[in-house]
């Protein structure tokens, strides 16, 4: 019998997660990650970040997201950016959202627009408009993200 591959572990982990078997899913994601499946790195981080099948551990989650991001996983970049944003470290949040956006994540453009908007009187209005416009135009953004980016542009008086 052939040994399961990283893809086998990852698919089985997602099936277990969908079935509500969270501890089993986490165990399978860990096996997939150990076998080199980059998306599994992000999934382990997500489970730790949200306390799915395990006690919440934000520091460990960030480590797993960083591994995923460095391995080229766009969701790992975005999740790492969210961790930094939520901690108030906007410099590193921007860095990782920019990485996610460069890999095609349209929602990262929305997040970048928000970050530049939050800078208040010191905001770079050009960057706010640029990133929100990129979010609205992105083919890789959630419908809610597109709506929010448009609403922010409208609230700034930049579109009708």
Q: What does the alpha-carbon distance between residue 114 and residue 151 come to, in Å, rounded to a whole number?
A: 12
Please classify residue 146 by burial: count the beta carbons closer than 10 Å to its beta carbon, then call 0-12 exposed, 13-18 middle and 19+ buried: middle
Quote the CA–CA distance of 27 and 19 in Å, as a whole number: 14
Specify the pLDDT at position 61. 97
**What are the pLDDT digits (tens) for 18-70?**
999 999 999 999 999 999 899 999 999 999 999 999 999 999 999 999 999 99
- Where do the domains of the chain lie? 1-88, 104-160
Dist CA 114 CA 155 (whole Å): 13
- Inform me whether the pLDDT recorded for 16 exceeds 70: yes
Which residue, among 111, 112, 115, 77, has the nearest Cα to 96 in the 3D structure?
77
Determine contact, residues 107/78, Cβ cutoff 8 Å: yes
For residue 160, what pLDDT is reported?
A: 55
CATH topology for 1-88 is 1.25.40
Structure confidence by residue, pLDDT tens digits, 64-115: 999 999 999 999 999 999 999 999 999 999 999 999 999 999 999 999 999 9
Token pair recorded at residue 28: 């399978």
pTM: predicted TM-score of the whole model, two decimal places:
0.87
The burial of 75, by beta-carbon neighbours within 10 Å (0-12 exposed, 13-18 middle, 19 or more buried), is given as buried
> Residue 31: helix, strand or coil by DSSP?
helix
Can you give the pLDDT at residue 121?
60
Residues with Cβ within 8 Å of 20's Cβ and at least 6 positions away in sequence, in order, are none
In the 8-state DSSP scheme, what is residue 18? Answer: H
Query: 146: which 2 tokens?
Result: 């597109």
């Amino acid at each position: 019998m052939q040994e399961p591959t990283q893809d086998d572990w990852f698919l089985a982990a997602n099936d277990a997660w969908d079935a509500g078997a969270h501890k089993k899913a986490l165990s399978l994601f860990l096996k997939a990650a150990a076998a080199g499946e980059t998306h599994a790195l992000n999934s382990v981080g997500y489970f730790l970040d949200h306390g799915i099948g395990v006690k919440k551990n934000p520091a460990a989650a960030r480590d797993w997201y960083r591994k995923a991001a460095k391995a080229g996983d766009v969701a790992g970049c975005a999740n790492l950016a969210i961790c930094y944003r939520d901690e108030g470290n906007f410099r590193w949040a921007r860095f990782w959202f920019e990485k996610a956006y460069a890999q095609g994540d349209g929602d990262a453009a929305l997040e970048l627009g928000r970050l530049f908007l939050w800078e208040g009187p010191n905001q770079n209005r050009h960057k706010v408009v640029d990133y929100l416009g990129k979010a609205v135009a992105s083919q890789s953004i959630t419908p809610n993200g597109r709506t929010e980016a448009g609403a922010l542009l409208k609230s700034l008086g930049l579109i009708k």
